[in-house]
Structure 1
Amino acid sequence: MCYESEFSASCNFRFEIECFYNLTTADTPLTSTPPPATSPPSNNTKNTTGKKINSSRTIIIASVSAVALVVLVVSSCIFVFLRVRKSKVKAEKGGEAAEAVDEIKNAEALQYDFSTISAATNHFSNSNMLGQGGFGSVYKGKLAGGELIAVKRLSTDSGQGDLEFKNEVLLVAKLQHRNLVRLQDFCLERNERLLIYQFVPNASLDQFLFDPVKRAYLGWEKRYKIIGGIARGLLYLHEDSRLRIIHRDLKTSNILLDAEMNPKIADFVCS
């Protein structure tokens, strides 16, 4: 800024390093600063990515290998188990077959000749008949040695085969209880099927209950004893015996009494 005075002319200059006025669009420079260039990924980034891929691949391969190993072990165990089980089944079948052969031999040992039993019962005469039921008639017999027996002559229309009859005989022969009638022997010849039981001298319970004279012999003490024996025999048949036979025709005519009036259940197997 310049001015004149009455003595002389002078000028003053003023400046600042900061801008003290606003720049307009026209005042902005035409060239602009270019944006910073993006630098390409470094080698360290590439190595890190590669390591991650290799690690994932290793985990996948290890997992697949472990699963395959587990499947192989389980399959081997199942195969061995089935082989062992198959061998046991074969051994059990062989044992059952041998046992069946032994049982048939035992049945043959229990068998009587028909002529022997016929002679013991006086050729199944009516005078020796003890009773008659739906499965046949029962006869009193006496063997050559003097032993008394009860022979049940089964009806010929039972429809039972020889092997089935022998198997049933063996089953009944295995049942041993003081309140069951004991099966001693049998006879199988042509169409004849005979079951030989122990002889029970006092016949059946119905002959006492329905006879006015014999009924007086059954006091309450004897009746209680008979009831208890029947219960023990049924418990053995239904629960305690290995065969667990259900008696389907229990009645007074099937309760036999021995010399001491002990009850013995009969006809617990339908022939």
Structure 2
Amino acid sequence: MRPTCIIQVKHKDLILIEALPKKKKEELYPRPNIPINNFQLLKYSHPNYRLTAFNDHLIQQGYNSTVNFRPINPPVHDNLNVPNPLRNTDLIKKLFDDIAISEDLQGIAVTLAPFNDLEFFTDGSYDSTNSQAGFFMGYGWTTSNLSNCNITYNGSLKFFPSSTKAETMAILTALVVCPEFGIITIYTDSQAAIDSFHKSKNLHTISPRRFNKINNNILWSSIHFIIQSLSLKVKLLKVKAHSGNQFNDIADI
């Protein structure tokens, strides 16, 4: 059951509630009122416990990365004023616990450090008929404004599959490798991702209840944390899918 509303009230006794399906209705009998005086009020908000439970689920499932990527022929830039990429390194280590993924993203962050103005084409997909376990959701992106050689990146996701979640992860991994104070333009064919980006932008003004109604809210909160930490100026633009755009096709592949 997915909770849709969280109510926290101070009460001298804990109130027990028994929830059963409708077909069990005829089996219900009045139960005595048993007061319980020992209970603990929730210390943190519901999103905090939801994230903790999800992380515990990943650990129990033996989560492991399927990404195996190394940049080839990285682009070069004549600008010697390279911002310190250590802030990217710290962010990546916090957000990605898989060593292979962390090293890949750190390497890309160092490569892109000299470029203050970057353009990305991102894409995500979900195919429930895929025969390879763990590859139902795929995401990828490519830079599009580098003259020497554009960088591409791709990976896969597990758990709670949707095409919008894959697109959101593509945006997250693109932003986390951007240089500090960068001006970033992201082209995506997902209007849902653009709407969610703007909807979750002012997280400090959103109540916990409304925040929980935003799909993939944990990923979006991480995206806005990255933007704030790196002082990025980010703009998302809609591009038509399968319109013959070279870079959009690369991200789609």
Same fold by TM-score, threshold 0.5 exceeded?
Answer: no
TM-score by length of 2: 0.27
Larger Rg: 1
Q: Which has the higher contact order (CA 8 A, sep 6+)?
A: 2
TM-score by length of 1: 0.25
Tell me which protein shows more helix as a share of its residues.
1
